[in-house]
Amino acid sequence: MSDTMETIARAIEVVGVVVMILGMIVAFVPWLGAIAQRRGRATYPAFRNDLGRAILLGLEIFIVADIIHTVTVDLTLLSAATLGTIVLVRTFLSFSLEIELEGVAPWRRREMDRSER
């Protein structure tokens, strides 16, 4: 069973990589077209947001893979501590990217939505 779960965790990691690569392509190709039409600067914020969202989704998928691997394959105190560190770092990255993309901290988003009405 351990080998099966490790294979599943690795497959989920591959999905995370594929999501990031496809997200980069989906963001990059239209931006290249905009550059060719000399609109690159105007479309850069959309490119950046799309790329950031792909990275966020990939990071979340990696966290799932790490949790599965640690809980089902390598459940030791050291691996749990390592998982905790990895999750903290990836969560911090996700949090930072989300603030960068949305322009507001998640706990202030509701306030911003109300003020825009």
Write down the pLDDT at residue 86.
84
| pTM: predicted TM-score of the whole model, two decimal places | 0.74
Give the three-class secondary structure for 43: helix
Write down the pLDDT at residue 8.
93
The per-residue pLDDT for range 3-23, each reduced to its tens digit, is 888 899 999 999 999 999 999
| Domain extent for 110 | 2-116
Distance of CA 30 to the CA centre of its chain: 21
For the residues of 46-107, what is the DSSP string, one character each?
Answer: HHHHHHHHHHHHHHHHHHHHHHHHHHHT--SHHHHHHHHHHHHHHHHHHHHHHHHHHSS-GG
Helix axes 2-36, 40-72, angle to 10 degrees: 180
Q: What is the mean pLDDT of residues 41-70?
A: 88
For the chain, what is the domain count?
Answer: 1
